[in-house]
Amino acid sequence: MGRIALVSAVVIALAGCAGSGGTLPTVTGNEQGGKVPYAEGSMPAAMDAAKAHCSQFNKKAQMTQMSPAAEGGGTVGFQCR
């Protein structure tokens, strides 16, 4: 239990250093996966948000879908495995 808390704390701390200004995009999903929005040029922040989401369930995020928007950015779909 202590190891899980330590790993979660490290993931959250590293996600804050991802160059996104410390703010991760909002993830919509559950323990199977989800979707996260991204702006043009902020794909690393979206990936970090997916990783942080899946780490809550002791899983790793795997990107499965990318839906670009006409004005730039879009949505990334991912699975927690």
Phi and psi at 66, nearest 5°, equal: -135, 120
Give residue limits of the domains in the chain: 2-80
Of residues 79, 76, 14, the one with CA closest to residue 53:
79
**Token representation of residue 33:** 């996966």
* Identity of the amino acid at 25: P
Name the residue with higher pLDDT: 27 or 3.
Answer: 27
> 28 near 49, Cβ under 8 Å?
no
Give the Cα separation of 26 and 67 in Å (integer): 16
User: Each residue of 24-79: pLDDT tens digit?
Assistant: 889 999 999 999 998 888 889 999 999 999 999 999 999 999 998 888 889 999 99
What is this structure's pTM?
Answer: 0.67
pLDDT given for residue 20 in this prediction:
44
Output the pLDDT for position 19.
46
Over residues 4-28, the mean pLDDT reads 59
